[in-house]
Structure 1
């Protein structure tokens, strides 16, 4: 995966980054609030030795630079700490004083700095003042060779003692910035790990790679689709309806040399929207003027009749067992050229019934009575019904819900079709999260179309044949079934 792939993962899981940054910043703020303020008092010493001449001064400087390193250790010695505690009532032990002292030296100089850090500003100042006085006396005692001889080392205070007016820790701004940066890095890492570990189908490109078939449609997710799944009424002008119409166009031109007239609509798992897709595809085809027949062949969980508001008590199963004729149970839906064959009663042996010779003969008869036959089948990985029906169709349309089905499940569904030589026409990514810039909303205009003139005879009377309804497709299906 390249850099842009990682950035896409971070963008997809942006909420992980946001939550991580909020947690780290909140933790940094909590630590800052709960941390006791600390103050620093410091003093700087200048170490000198009397010398005469340039050569002696240079040699003395080298000697003092080495000596300063020893003085840094002397500042944290137990002897000096005990002297400070004995001279000034600080309320601290010698070990506590030593723990608060830090020393530093500047390279190639004879400057020595001592720093005392304490939670009490006044105590830090008193400690550094006592330390400064006792350190000067201690060096004089240590470096004096005899009682009557002067010390070759001279210690002078050149800066301080002084204490900071504001706490040196905690630093709220620094802590919050560091917390935000750490949260950003940790959140990006977690987002990438989450994306790499996520095996669910997330985009159309991955769906095409896994199935090895063209993407015929990408249906956007709309919250209103749960209550109004069909693309009729107000939903007819939605982005979802336009995506279904695009699917209709792609489906009709997927193979112009060998067009599919009987199409099985299936999915890998239950609940991916295959029944809704089958119904909406049939409606869209009927809107374009095609004679469409929708068959509910999901005999285990039939839903098409409920979505379309039809009676599904008698239907496909009753026709297959020979109880009724197909023309007696086919129902016209709405004012469009759409006929629906419901599932009928739930049989004890759906797979055997769908794979019977009666089912094959029925599809041969229905193929000639409609331009396109849409068959809603059962999920491929749950039962074998979907494969049994898809074998008898001209091709299959695989519906996959974004973010629900894993790549391995989609691949298994595609293999289930290819293993029996089913022609996979293409795939559809359902409930896709489409950006606002990609969504297109159509405005609805009410157009009044004048009614066509009623034919009359020469005397002005209405012709009888103009008032009589023409034979519908149900009668044609009845004749075919007989």
Structure 2
């Protein structure tokens, strides 16, 4: 991983990293200050031979070889159990084992016993009892066969066990430093792992590489859009973003005098409804006649955004209860709007009819631009059906939400029915992201149905025929 990618991952996951570090720091502080202070006591045992002369010189070699064994035996379970019994300690032998250590001072015949306990007095008592038990153990092991002989090796306590009012643990500065460093390490590694394992789309380059089409505009996240979702109401960078999109669409289809554009997304809640609505408003500002159609019969939202009526629309026209003119409502912005009408039980079957194709064909001749807000591509087949009746599609991709596989599958479905993808729109990008163009906004709209990926349908001869028959020079 390059330094740029490393810093980018930390910046993208700064909330996770910060929270992880703060939680680790809080746990460190709580653990350190809630730890019971431990006091220490040490005592030295001198191991030697009581003999003199050459015997003493010879025995010194034996002492040197055995002193390590005596140090190891100092923590033998039997020795520790005798200490527990002699002091009537409120702990088990296993508990005491973690409090006693023995070591040989390098280059000497001295064993040092170190003991920790909750109070200085208890630490000193345990150290004294432990030393006495080791001395007794050495005496037992080195007892000569004959009563009149002196033992070849003896151990004795060099001085009284030490006592101190200063705790040996916890070492607050050291423990805090180590805990904070571990928390920082976990925060950084956790952020990098989350970034590596994250399969969502997070950059313009990702979208273009996976989809094979350019990103026409990136829309930075703006929480104010929930209150004022229409570009004509807020202006500024929001309106400028859609002017950029409008211009890019003109370059996407230079020969077209009239355009029919379908706006969809891979999944719900990626912002397609707001993009379709604002694109229509922006096109109307350029002097073009625009019809905005809400074809999302499962969850219509355009009428609510525009403050218009949705009780009449596509369904009422298709069943012959009203005409196209009567089902089309004017908006103060200058666009015309056609809602879904009453919710049908079978939206896909309603859209896949000759009557629906005739409706789209007629309005295409009457308006400079027809914008269709379609359901998302993956949950249902509605958008794939409508794809054969338009010039091209815009595909919404939500930053940090749409996965690479979902984007790939959505594009594949467009191509499977012979549809044309004008380009993609990366929505809800962080404002500090290098992928943002500095325009617009990001916002999603909820859906009432779930998502379950299904295999990409292969284009049939009938869908090819409908598309070929529809393409006529205008």
Post-superposition offset of 1:122: 1.4
* Change in 2 beyond 3 A, CA 1:321/1:155: closer
Deviation per CA, 1:447-481: give whole Å up to 9, x if none.
Answer: xxxxxxxxxxxxxxxxxxxxxxxxxxxxxxxxxxx
Q: TM-score, with normalisation over the residues of structure 2?
A: 0.73
Counterpart CA distance in 1 for 2:91 and 2:279 is: 87
Map of 1:42 onto structure 2: 42
Deviation per CA, 1:382-416: give whole Å up to 9, x if none.
Answer: 43332222211110111233344444333332222
1:210 aligns with 2:213: no
Q: TM-score, with normalisation over the residues of structure 1?
A: 0.72
Post-superposition offset of 1:101: 3.7
Deviation per CA, 1:417-447: give whole Å up to 9, x if none.
Answer: 11111001111122333228968599xxxxx
Map of 1:421 onto structure 2: 418
Deviation per CA, 1:316-350: give whole Å up to 9, x if none.
Answer: 445555565544554443354x3334444555665
Deviation per CA, 1:49-81: give whole Å up to 9, x if none.
Answer: 68889xx97x77654421322432464568977
Instruction: Find 1:303's aligned residue among 301, 304, 307.
Output: 301
Instruction: Find 2:266's aligned residue among 245, 265, 268.
Output: 268
The within-5 A match list for 1:176-187 is 176-187=176-187
Q: Secondary structure at the match of 1:428?
A: strand
Post-superposition offset of 1:353: 4.8
Could you tell me whether the CA contact under 8 Å between 1:43 and 1:128 is conserved in 2? yes
Could you tell me whether the CA contact under 8 Å between 2:311 and 2:341 is conserved in 1? yes
With 65-74 and 114-123 compared, the bigger mean Cα shift is at 65-74
Map of 1:472 onto structure 2: none
* Change in 2 beyond 3 A, CA 1:351/1:152: closer
The within-5 A match list for 1:320-399 is 320=318, 325-334=323-332, 336=334, 338-346=335-343, 350-399=347-396
Unaligned runs of 5+ in 1: 443-482
Deviation per CA, 1:116-146: give whole Å up to 9, x if none.
Answer: 2222311322443465577668767876868
* Change in 2 beyond 3 A, CA 1:4/1:335: closer
* Change in 2 beyond 3 A, CA 1:302/1:115: closer
With 117-126 and 140-149 compared, the bigger mean Cα shift is at 140-149
* Change in 2 beyond 3 A, CA 1:115/1:202: same
Map of 1:285 onto structure 2: 283
Q: Secondary structure at the match of 1:265?
A: strand
Deviation per CA, 1:261-280: give whole Å up to 9, x if none.
Answer: 22111223333322211110
Counterpart CA distance in 2 for 1:203 and 1:436 is: 8
* Change in 2 beyond 3 A, CA 1:319/1:120: closer
Could you tell me whether the CA contact under 8 Å between 1:390 and 1:422 is conserved in 2? yes
Q: Secondary structure at the match of 1:422?
A: coil
Could you tell me whether the CA contact under 8 Å between 1:299 and 1:350 is conserved in 2? yes
* Change in 2 beyond 3 A, CA 1:172/1:296: same
Counterpart CA distance in 1 for 2:156 and 2:204 is: 77
Aligned Cα RMSD in Å?
A: 4.3
Map of 2:429 onto structure 1: 432
1:119 aligns with 2:99: no
Looking at CA atoms only, which structure, 1 or 2, has the larger radius of gyration? Answer: 1
Could you tell me whether the CA contact under 8 Å between 2:264 and 2:373 is conserved in 1? yes
Deviation per CA, 1:86-108: give whole Å up to 9, x if none.
Answer: 9xx84449985974542101444
Could you tell me whether the CA contact under 8 Å between 2:37 and 2:168 is conserved in 1? yes
Q: Secondary structure at the match of 1:271?
A: coil
Q: Secondary structure at the match of 2:115?
A: strand
1:400 aligns with 2:427: no
Q: Secondary structure at the match of 1:162?
A: coil
Could you tell me whether the CA contact under 8 Å between 1:282 and 1:292 is conserved in 2? yes
Unaligned runs of 5+ in 2: 441-474
Q: Secondary structure at the match of 2:252?
A: coil
The within-5 A match list for 1:64-213 is 64-73=63-72, 75-76=74-75, 90-92=87-89, 99=97, 100-129=99-128, 161-188=161-188, 190-191=190-191, 194-195=194-195, 198-213=198-213
Counterpart CA distance in 1 for 2:5 and 2:126 is: 58
* Change in 2 beyond 3 A, CA 1:131/1:275: closer
Counterpart CA distance in 2 for 1:158 and 1:257 is: 103
